[in-house]
Structure formats: structure tokens, C-alpha cells
């Protein structure tokens, strides 16, 4: 049907517990590429959707510190993340290819 197979995992824990190292080890073992995504650098939901749709096949998307953008926290001095929660969910498990 042309719908890509996707699986998502949420790794939770204090900094320094090896979450990113685990992803890097899995990618190396499975011979997959890692695409690092920083939501703080994305202007809007459309940009996020375009970026997610341009990820190469057989790769892992690593989004770090995803919890820090949805609590009204400042990303940097005077700037805020403009990605909505629904935009993030649509980008993660939307059926667009």
C-alpha cells in the first residue's frame, strides 16, 4: 500500500544514562543511519513535516530533549519553539510519505 513502516521508542532517564549511546549502538549494529533532529531550530509544523518526510530510508530519527519544548520554556534568550504538539504527533506517525 506504500505506507512506510515506523516504530517509535521513548527513552527516559536522567542525563548521562546512555540513552543516546544506546541509539548509536543499535544503529551501528543494524547498519542504519542516524538523523539528529533539534526541534528548537524548526520554525513551524510544516517545516517539521517536510524534514520528517525527507529522512532517508532505513534510518533512525533521534529527537533529544523533546520534553523541554512543550512546557512554555524558553529555548534560548528571547526565542520560543513554534512546533505544536499536534504538529509533532502528525509528523511522527502521520501517513504522509
Q: Which residues, in sequence order, are CB contacts of 82 under 8 Å at separation 6+?
A: 42, 43, 44
Answer yes or no: is 43 within a domain: yes
pTM for this one? 0.75
Q: Which residues, in sequence order, are CB contacts of 20 under 8 Å at separation 6+?
A: 62, 64
SS3 34: strand
- Look up residue 85 and give its three cell numbers: 504538539
- Looking at per-residue pLDDT, the higher value among 92 and 60 belongs to 60
Answer yes or no: is 12 within a domain: no
Residue 73 backbone phi and psi in degrees, to 5: -80, 150
Give yes or no for residue 40 having a pLDDT over 70.
yes
Give yes or no for residue 4 having a pLDDT over 90.
no
Q: What is the pLDDT of residues 49-86, one digit of tens each?
A: 888 888 888 899 998 877 767 655 555 555 556 788 88
Total count of domains within the chain:
1
pLDDT at 28: 96
Answer yes or no: is 11 within a domain: no
Amino acid at each position: 500500500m506504500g505506507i512506510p513502516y515506523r516504530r517509535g521508542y521513548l527513552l527516559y532517564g536522567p542525563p548521562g544514562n546512555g540513552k543516546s549511546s544506546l541509539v548509536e549502538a543499535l544503529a551501528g549494529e543494524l547498519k542504519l543511519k542516524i538523523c539528529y533532529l533539534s526541534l528548537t531550530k524548526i520554525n513551524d509544523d510544516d517545516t517539521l513535516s517536510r524534514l520528517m518526510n525527507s529522512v532517508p530510508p532505513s534510518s533512525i530519527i533521534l529527537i533529544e530533549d523533546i520534553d523541554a519544548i512543550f512546557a512554555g520554556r524558553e529555548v534560548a534568550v528571547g526565542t520560543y519553539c513554534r512546533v505544536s504538539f499536534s504538529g509533532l504527533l502528525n509528523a511522527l506517525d502521520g501517513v504522509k510519505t
